[in-house]
């Protein structure tokens, strides 16, 4: 009888809306990016739903070249705390973050082809049993200057 009550309670809990964003795909603008002073590179996140409430969900954007491998990501451009911004429980299928990316950033990196690395870091769970993980999405792109 106790096992039945516990199973029923767990079943009810699993039906509650504890959804948070998880990234299925990360994309940049189509075609060639036109870099100038004060330009932004729009990054679109396509999300799914999981039954996890993130304690921390952060994305950091870095500019590098296509020949960088592994954990090498290039120069940092922007970091966004998605929990603080209210995007960790995003109800829609996608959202976009504008990343500042100017001609001077491209000049700092040198010759392309270029890659915008999107580094995700997250934590979930209940203290003291927190789970941390990271991942890197890479968006290759071509650039011309305004």
Closest CA to 101 of 112, 89, 116: 116
C-alpha 48/C-alpha 22 separation (Å) is 6
Phi, psi of 95 (to 5 degrees): -150, 160
**Alpha helices per DSSP H over 75-114:** 103-109
CATH of 2-145, one of 2.60.40, 3.90.550, 1.20.120, 1.20.1740: 2.60.40
Q: Where are the domains of the chain?
A: 2-145
Q: What angle do CA 21, 44, 143 make, to 5 degrees?
A: 150
Q: Please name the residues in contact with 43: beta carbons below 8 A apart, sequence gap of 6 or more.
A: 26, 27, 28, 61, 96, 97, 98, 99, 116, 118, 139
**Cα 64 to Cα 139: distance, rounded to the nearest angstrom:** 10
pTM as predicted: 0.80
Instruction: For the chain, 146 residues long, give each residue's pLDDT as a single digit of tens.
Output: 444 443 333 333 333 333 344 788 899 999 999 999 999 999 999 887 666 778 889 999 999 999 987 778 999 999 999 989 888 776 568 889 999 999 999 999 999 899 999 999 999 888 888 889 888 999 999 999 87
């Amino acid at each position: 009888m106790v096992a039945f009550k516990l199973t029923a309670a767990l079943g009810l809990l699993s039906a509650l809306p504890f959804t948070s964003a998880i990234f299925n795909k990360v994309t940049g603008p189509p075609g060639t990016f036109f870099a100038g002073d004060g330009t932004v590179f729009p990054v679109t996140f396509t999300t799914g739903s999981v039954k996890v409430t993130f304690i921390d969900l952060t994305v950091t954007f870095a500019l590098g070249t296509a020949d960088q491998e592994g954990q090498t990501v290039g120069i940092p451009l922007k970091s966004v705390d998605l929990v603080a911004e209210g995007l960790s429980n995003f109800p829609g299928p996608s959202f976009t973050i504008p990343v500042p990316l100017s001609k001077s950033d491209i000049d700092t990196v040198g010759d392309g082809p270029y890659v915008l690395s999107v580094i995700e870091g997250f934590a979930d769970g209940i203290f003291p049993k927190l789970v941390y993980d990271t991942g890197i999405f890479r968006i290759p792109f071509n650039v011309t200057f305004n």
